[in-house]
Chain A
């Protein structure tokens, strides 16, 4: 499954400043694995040692927060758009 991943500014140094990259993945966990294969070092920024998405990282599949879906087991289909977004302050 090829999906499009929007990379936030703090992680673009791993992707040679590419804002959008492609990954082969069936779910969020395998997407992180594939990103790490392509861009060594990026995986540990997104997930912790236990493979859980870090608590200050928000991941969206087609604009829906994965915490409203199945978290890191959320299944992906061809052409899905994934955003990785740092938490931002409110008001």
Chain B
């Protein structure tokens, strides 16, 4: 029996056979892959998972591909770090960082979705892959295409951070820089989508791609000793991750693998300069209004989020909330995580930390409850964001007099 049975529209329930398609023909709602739960529940146990490799593929039975993984075999199973110092500052005794800033190989959670999408692309028989990206997805598709021997085409907005451009080109790909913002890149790619016979990971492979994110949730629960946390704060761009983490917890619960069910409240974090999802949640609006992004948090600057409705529904259903922060607050968030926990995250992570601080100040977390922050990307890729906010190294001559002088004039001894 196959593991994946077909696809189903999240909006209207219409079913389709398994294919590289992503929207419902009736209502344009997003399609999701249907797993064969009868088969899956016979196979999966805590033991079977714990016996698997130290990567996201320990959950292979729950990932919507048929055969074994062929691309990205070492992705995932990133550290869940107990953040004692940051927790103390926020008044929380059980604060954790799920640290995908050190995901293998391209230092963001996107490696999870790409490993899934490219394994599926090969099963569908594609030899060329593509994506529209705000940067992290570009890095990951280029790297995995190189590893898997695919040709690749990658579309980005022209004004991305240098680190994200270099970190794409280095793998040898066709990088196309579009004179527009991400939403414009996205629209153009959707129009081009079917034209060239490519596996567009976030268009025609989206249902498979999206479910790669479930592993972020599985890992949190397993690393907490098979329990779902009370609260998870997640940065939102297209809006998929927050719902997939929640889906991950609920699937483990459905299989009877969790102690204490899923008490989890999900929280959406966005930058104020691009906040269609958090604005809709805070205003209790039925639908979100697209925005024209204006923030340094470029990796999450999506003004017209494809899964915005799903994200809003998930946050509401779980009893969570949403907050947004200014660019100054997100820079402080990056510095705060670095100076308390020794973890250097990118702008989206700064948003998550700053939003968590706001939510904590609003009294949304009990001090002993388990709170997890989803840190999804690495700070070395967005150095421009903090470059002007960190001071400079103290320059001295290679002798003790110069050192002594510097320590005195810069008052460095007092701070040691």
Chain A interface residues toward B at CB < 8 A:
6, 8-11, 13, 45, 54-58, 60, 63, 65, 67-68, 83, 85-91
Is A88 a contact partner of B132 (Cβ separation < 8 A)? yes
Given contacts A10-B28, A89-B209, 19 further A-B contacts (CB under 8 A): A45-B25, A54-B28, A55-B309, A56-B23, A56-B309, A58-B304, A65-B183, A67-B290, A83-B187, A86-B28, A87-B307, A88-B189, A89-B202, A89-B238, A90-B132, A90-B134, A90-B237, A90-B240, A91-B110
**Minimum C-beta distance from B303 to chain A (A):** 9
Provide the main secondary structure of the chain B interface: loop
**Minimum C-beta distance from B161 to chain A (A):** 15
Is A56 a contact partner of B11 (Cβ separation < 8 A)? yes
CB of B282 closer than 8 Å to a CB of A: no
**Minimum C-beta distance from B269 to chain A (A):** 15
Contact of A45 among B26, B202, B239, B306 (CB under 8 A): B26
A13 CA / B136 CA spacing, docked (Å): 35
Is A88 a contact partner of B309 (Cβ separation < 8 A)? no
Is B190 a contact partner of A85 (Cβ separation < 8 A)? yes
Is B238 a contact partner of A90 (Cβ separation < 8 A)? yes
Is A88 a contact partner of B186 (Cβ separation < 8 A)? yes
CB of B289 closer than 8 Å to a CB of A: yes
Is B290 a contact partner of A85 (Cβ separation < 8 A)? no
Most chain-A CB neighbours within 10 Å: which of B186, B287, B305?
Answer: B186
A47 CA / B110 CA spacing, docked (Å): 34
Chain A residues near B22 (CB, 8 Å)? 86, 88-89
Interface size on B, residues (CB 8 A): 49
Residue of A with least CB distance to B309: A55
Chain A residues near B237 (CB, 8 Å)? 90-91
A85 CA / B305 CA spacing, docked (Å): 13
Contact of A8 among B190, B210, B292 (CB under 8 A): B190
Provide the main secondary structure of the chain A interface: mixed
A73 CA / B152 CA spacing, docked (Å): 40
A22 CA / B307 CA spacing, docked (Å): 31
CB of B410 closer than 8 Å to a CB of A: no
Residue of A with least CB distance to B301: A90
Whether A90 contacts B182 in the complex (CB less than 8 A), given A55-B287, A85-B190, comes out as yes
Is B184 a contact partner of A56 (Cβ separation < 8 A)? no
Is A45 a contact partner of B182 (Cβ separation < 8 A)? no
Pairs of residues from A and B, 9 with the lowest C-beta to C-beta distance, nearest first = A90-B238, A91-B137, A87-B306, A56-B28, A86-B23, A89-B202, A90-B302, A10-B25, A89-B206
Is A91 a contact partner of B309 (Cβ separation < 8 A)? no
20 contacts across the A-B interface (CB closer than 8 A): A6-B191, A8-B190, A8-B191, A10-B21, A55-B309, A57-B28, A63-B187, A65-B290, A68-B292, A85-B191, A87-B30, A88-B189, A88-B206, A89-B203, A89-B209, A90-B134, A90-B202, A90-B239, A91-B133, A91-B238
**Minimum C-beta distance from B189 to chain A (A):** 7
CB of B29 closer than 8 Å to a CB of A: yes
